C-alpha cells in the first residue's frame, strides 16, 4: 500500500486524521468533540438533508431519505453500520473500522437518535476491524445496545437485504424486494442499513456543524492499478485518499504514480470502464453518472498503456460470475454468458454475433437480479464496447498476449490491502 492521504484543504475536518493512519482511542475521539450530548436530533436530520449527504456504500442514495423512512415507520426500529466491503478494490470501510471505530459508533448512536431505534448492529467480515470495534465498545459503553455480527467476506454479503438476512441468522445472501429493510428488516422491524463511512460523516457533521457542507462533499477513495499488467501483481501504486467532491481523476492518478494511465475502472467493479477523456472526469456521483459511469464505493483502478481493457473486463466478469449468490436464474445464466463471451473476445475467437450478443445482453440484463451483481457485469461489457470498440475489433481472429492469462475468478488483479 502506497499510503493514506488527505487532499482536503487545511482546517477542513476529515475522516483520515488527525493523526493520519493512527488507531484512535476514546480519549483522542472525545478531545475532537466526539460523543457530544444528544440535543435536538431532528435538527441534525434537517442538516443532513440540507447539505445533501449521500450514502457511501455504492448507490449514493440520499441519507436523509433513508433516515426519515425508518423514523416514520411504526414499531421498534433497528440501525446497522454496514462495514462489509464486497468490492475487492475498496479498503475505506475496513480502514475506518480498524483505525477510527469511535467515529463509526458515534454515527450509529446518532442514527439511532434520529430514527428512534433502540438497537444497533455493526456488521463486518474483517477480524482486525471486529477487534477494534469491540475494544471501542468496551471503552465507550454506549447507551444504545450494539451487537457485532461477523460474516464471511463475499461480493454480495454487504447488500442490504443480505445484511438483514445474516443478522437474523441466515446466509449472507440477498433477498427479493419488496420489502426493503426500511419496511421490514432485522427481526421484521424497520431497519436502517447504513455504510460505515456514511455514519462517520454523520458523526463529524454533528461535532462540527460549521463544516457540514465540506464533510458531506468529501469522499474516501481507494486508488489502485496493476502498473504493469496482471503479471506484475495487484496493489501497485495503491492508496486510500480523502478528497473533495469534484477533484479530477487525473489528480488522483498522478498522486499514486498512475500518470501514464490511459483508462480507468470506476466504482470498484460497478462503474464500468472509461477510456479517452477520463482525465477530465470530476469525482462526484452526478458527473460520473452523466458520463455513463458510476462512483460506486469510490474505488478507482487505473489501467496503464500495457494493460488491455479486454483483459480487465474478462477478469471482472469472471470474478462477478464466481461471486454470484446463485439464487436468481437470470443472474447465473447472465453473468455466465457475459463472462464466456468476453473470454471468446480475449482469445480471438469472437465473431460478429458474439459482439452483438454482448451489446444486447448489456442492455437487457440490468435490473433483473435481486442485487447489483448482474448490473455490474452488464455495465462492464457495455462500457468496454462503448469506450474501446477499436480494442475489441483488434482481438478478432488473433489472441491478445496481454489477455493470455485473463480469466481468473479470484479478482486478484483488483485486490488492495488495507493500510
For residue range 132-168, list pLDDT tens digits in order. 999 999 999 888 999 999 999 999 999 999 999 999 9
In DSSP terms, which residues pair with 149 in a beta bridge?
A: 123
Tracing cell 498522486 back to the chain, one arrives at 255
Average pLDDT over residues 314-332: 89
Residue 103: exposure state from Cβ atoms within 10 A (0-12, 13-18, ≥19): buried
pLDDT at 228 over 50: no
Work out the pLDDT band at 233, boundaries 50, 70, 90.
Answer: very low
Work out the pLDDT band at 230, boundaries 50, 70, 90.
Answer: very low
**Comparing C-alpha atoms, which of 287, 272, 222 is closest to residue 56?**
222
Residue 190's pLDDT is: 98
pLDDT, tens digit (0-9, with 9 covering 90-100), for 344-366: 998 888 888 999 999 999 999 98
**Comparing C-alpha atoms, which of 261, 269, 249 is closest to residue 321?**
269
Size (the chain), residues? 419
What are the b/e assignments for 23-38, b being 16+ CB within 10 Å? ebebeebeebebbeee
CA–CA gap between residue 132 and residue 201 (Å, rounded)? 19
Q: What angle do CA 35, 203, 53 make, to 5 degrees?
A: 165
CA–CA gap between residue 279 and residue 137 (Å, rounded)? 43
In DSSP notation, 244-266 reads ETT-BHHHHHHHTT-TT--EEEE
Tracing cell 470502464 back to the chain, one arrives at 273
CA–CA gap between residue 138 and residue 132 (Å, rounded)? 10
**Comparing C-alpha atoms, which of 279, 217, 219 is closest to residue 243?**
219
Work out the pLDDT band at 229, boundaries 50, 70, 90.
Answer: very low
**Comparing C-alpha atoms, which of 75, 36, 2 is closest to residue 252?**
2
**Comparing C-alpha atoms, which of 322, 231, 225 is closest to residue 265?**
225
Residues sharing a CB contact under 8 Å with residue 18, sequence separation 6 or more, in sequence order: none
Tracing cell 455480527 back to the chain, one arrives at 149
What are the b/e assignments for 297-324, b being 16+ CB within 10 Å? bbbbbbbbeebbbbbbbbbbbbbbbbbb
Average pLDDT over residues 314-331: 89
Whether 385 contacts 359, CB under 8 Å: yes
Residue 18's pLDDT is: 53
Amino acid at each position: 500500500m502506497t499510503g493514506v492521504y488527505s487532499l482536503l484543504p487545511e482546517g477542513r475536518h476529515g475522516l483520515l486524521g488527525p493523526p493520519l493512519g493512527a488507531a484512535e482511542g476514546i480519549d483522542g475521539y472525545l478531545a475532537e468533540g466526539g460523543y457530544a450530548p444528544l440535543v435536538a436530533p431532528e435538527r441534525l436530520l434537517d442538516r443532513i438533508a440540507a447539505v445533501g449527504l449521500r450514502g457511501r456504500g455504492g448507490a449514493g442514495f440520499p441519507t436523509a431519505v433513508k433516515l426519515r423512512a425508518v423514523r416514520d415507520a411504526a414499531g421498534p426500529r433497528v440501525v446497522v453500520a454496514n462495514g462489509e466491503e464486497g468490492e475487492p478494490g475498496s479498503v475505506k470501510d475496513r480502514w475506518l473500522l480498524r483505525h477510527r471505530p469511535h467515529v463509526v459508533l458515534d454515527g450509529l448512536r446518532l442514527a439511532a437518535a434520529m430514527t428512534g431505534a433502540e438497537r444497533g448492529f455493526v456488521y463486518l467480515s474483517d477480524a482486525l476491524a471486529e477487534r477494534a470495534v469491540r475494544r471501542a465498545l468496551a471503552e465507550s459503553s454506549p447507551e444504545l445496545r450494539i451487537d457485532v455480527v461477523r460474516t464471511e467476506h463475499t461480493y454480495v454479503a454487504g447488500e442490504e437485504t443480505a445484511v438483514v438476512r445474516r443478522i437474523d441468522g441466515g446466509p449472507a445472501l440477498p433477498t427479493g424486494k419488496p420489502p426493503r429493510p426500511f419496511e421490514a428488516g432485522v427481526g421484521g422491524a424497520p431497519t436502517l442499513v447504513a455504510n460505515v463511512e456514511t455514519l462517520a460523516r454523520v458523526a463529524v457533521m454533528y461535532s462540527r456543524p460549521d463544516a457540514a457542507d465540506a464533510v458531506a462533499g468529501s469522499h474516501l477513495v481507494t486508488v489502485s492499478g496493476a502498473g504493469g499488467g496482471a503479471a506484475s501483481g495487484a496493489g501497485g501504486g495503491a492508496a486510500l485518499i480523502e478528497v473533495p467532491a469534484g477533484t479530477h481523476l487525473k489528480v488522483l492518478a498522478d498522486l499514486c504514480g498512475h500518470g501514464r494511465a490511459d483508462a480507468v475502472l470506476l466504482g470498484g467493479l460497478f462503474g464500468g470502464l472509461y477510456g479517452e477523456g477520463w482525465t477530465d472526469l470530476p469525482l462526484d456521483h452526478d458527473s460520473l453518472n452523466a458520463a455513463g459511469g458510476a462512483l460506486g464505493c469510490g474505488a478507482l483502478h487505473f489501467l496503464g498503456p500495457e494493460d488491455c481493457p479486454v483483459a480487465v473486463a474478462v477478469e471482472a466478469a469472471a470474478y462477478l460470475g464466481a461471486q454470484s449468490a446463485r439464487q436468481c436464474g437470470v443472474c447465473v445464466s447472465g453473468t455466465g454468458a457475459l463472462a464466456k463471451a468476453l473470454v471468446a473476445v480475449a482469445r480471438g475467437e469472437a465473431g460478429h454475433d458474439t459482439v452483438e450478443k454482448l451489446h444486447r445482453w448489456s442492455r437487457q440484463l440490468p435490473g433483473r437480479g435481486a442485487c447489483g451483481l448482474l448490473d455490474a457485469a452488464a455495465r462492464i461489457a457495455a462500457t468496454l464496447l462503448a469506450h474501446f470498440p477499436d480494442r475489441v475489433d483488434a482481438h478478432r481472429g488473433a489472441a491478445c498476449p496481454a489477455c493470455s492469462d485473463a480469466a481468473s475468478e479470484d479478482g486478484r488483479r483488483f485486490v488492495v490491502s488495507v493500510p
